[in-house]
Structure 1
Amino acid sequence: MFGCCVAGRLLQTNLQQIDETHALFELPAASTINHICVFLLGTMSFPDGYGATVHFFWPGKGFQLLGMLSNEKPSAIFRLRGTFSSSSTAASHNAFTSSTMNMAPNASNDVTAILGLSIEPLTQIQPQISSLSSSVTNTIPDLSRNPSLLAERIVKHLFNFISGFVPGGGIATTPDSVVPMAVIVRWYESFTTKVKAGGVGFLERGD
């Protein structure tokens, strides 16, 4: 149902099912990870009223809520480096923790982290995401003073938008994947409308 791709690495589909509502990906050599993309493969959709929270587990530091996936938002990119803040109190993390307690270091003695997915009702997910958005809002950098960061956020926003239109599971899995120009036009119109309505703050919130 899920796939993930660490920037600069091959696509991962080696999902480990824990129970009916929890699954995880192992992320070897985690200290080198900057960004990760998580997406629905397109083979199965969420039941009505359900989605999935996405969590990042760093051994010894606990869990961090990254965001969510849903039928309306089938893919997302998350920045990992420099953003970790533990949030290990959520009950849903217990399923992941029991599966990662005995993990050994990988062959390079680097850390193997975990990307956890928890399928939950959207009514339970939305308060978590709202809380996450509030904490992010309090630390939003001034993008107007950092052109390189602004450019990175715009490209990320474009990728998130068009990835849902790429055949084969929401991500360009081959160099030959084609995105219709009409999709780019739709993104541009949506993007400029948001900028005119409220500035570029939505780029940090992941809207």
Structure 2
Amino acid sequence: MFSVIIPGRPCLTDIVAIDSQPNGQATKFAFNFPLTPYFTDIVVFFLPGTVLPQDTAAAIYIQYPDSEFRFIGALANENPSAVIKVRPPRRTEAQDEDQMLDDGSAAGSNNSAVVTLGISIEPVQVVAPQVTALEGETSSLGGTSTDLVRQTPQQRGISTKVLAQRIIGNAFNFLASFASGNSSNPGQDVVPLKAFQDWWTKFERRVNMDPTFLEREDPNASG
């Protein structure tokens, strides 16, 4: 389903399925590769023909030696590839010497340290907040190409009143195109109930894909 490229190294295709669902489909995968030579970019992408289940995303995690897994990005059907900036730890000579003494041979040097890249298929509602938090953490570093939702400038906060006004405005602009003059009261337009249902479906879909679009200064009022 997935493949990984670390610039300057062969393409990684030896993916390992970590779990299996009752239907036989795995949802968690892993790649293992050496920590050295040092790298700062990881390219993760869908193999041709890969399509995630509806309302899911592929969360990407990395685990360096002697550390926990950390979320670094995500893929979705709309974003099937990503170039992710990473900052692997640099081992010191003292750490290499200690490792060599522990293993009793030169084989215990930094060359044996392994990185694990985990990919987990999860609900988009679970992954999207992690992407938003990650963008906030990495904005000072120039950002990453891990957009599950569109990257936007971080806002200090937005009031409930403003959000409500924008939701109402979004609905009004959408429904206005369905309004007709067929009303018993002159000057009043009629909007079919189905139009409102269509707006809500479209609005809910956009919130799922881009939870922060209403917080931007110039949201697309037409939805």
TM-score (norm 2): 0.50
2:83 maps to which of 61, 77, 83: 77
Q: 1:108 to 1:44 in 2, by over 3 A?
A: same
Q: 1:83 to 1:135 in 2, by over 3 A?
A: farther
The structure whose Rg is larger is 2
1:132 maps to which of 128, 131, 134: 134
1:115 maps to which of 81, 98, 117: 117
Q: 1:109 to 1:82 in 2, by over 3 A?
A: closer
**CA shift at 1:33, angstroms?**
2.0
Does the 8 Å CA contact 2:56/2:122 hold for their aligned counterparts?
yes
**CA shift at 1:44, angstroms?**
2.1
Does the 8 Å CA contact 1:37/1:76 hold for their aligned counterparts?
yes
Which residue in 2 is equivalent to 1:15? 15
Does the 8 Å CA contact 1:2/1:41 hold for their aligned counterparts?
yes
Identity within the alignment, %: 30
Please say if 1:60 is aligned against 2:62: no
Consecutive unaligned residues of structure 2, counting only runs of 5 or more, are 20-25, 91-105, 148-216, 218-223
**CA shift at 1:31, angstroms?**
5.2
**CA shift at 1:32, angstroms?**
1.5
Q: Deviations over 1:135-176 (max 9, x none)?
A: 223xx15x7xxxxxxxxx8xx86xx9xxxxxxxxxxxxxxxx
Letter in 2 for 1:8: G
* SS of residue paired to 2:120: strand
What stretches of structure 1 move > 2 A for 4+ residues in a row?
81-84, 105-110
Which residue in 1 is equivalent to 2:57? 51
Q: 1:22 to 1:82 in 2, by over 3 A?
A: closer
Q: 1:33 to 1:107 in 2, by over 3 A?
A: farther
**CA shift at 1:43, angstroms?**
2.6
Q: 1:82 to 1:59 in 2, by over 3 A?
A: closer
After superposition, the CA RMSD in angstroms is: 3.0
Letter in 1 for 2:61: H
RCO (CA 8 Å, sep 6+): is it higher in 1 or 2? Answer: 1
Does the 8 Å CA contact 1:54/1:66 hold for their aligned counterparts?
yes
**CA shift at 1:81, angstroms?**
2.6
1:32 maps to which of 23, 30, 38: 38
**CA shift at 1:69, angstroms?**
0.4
Consecutive unaligned residues of structure 1, counting only runs of 5 or more, are 85-104, 144-152, 161-197, 199-207
Alignment partners' CA distance in 1, 2:39 and 2:78:
27
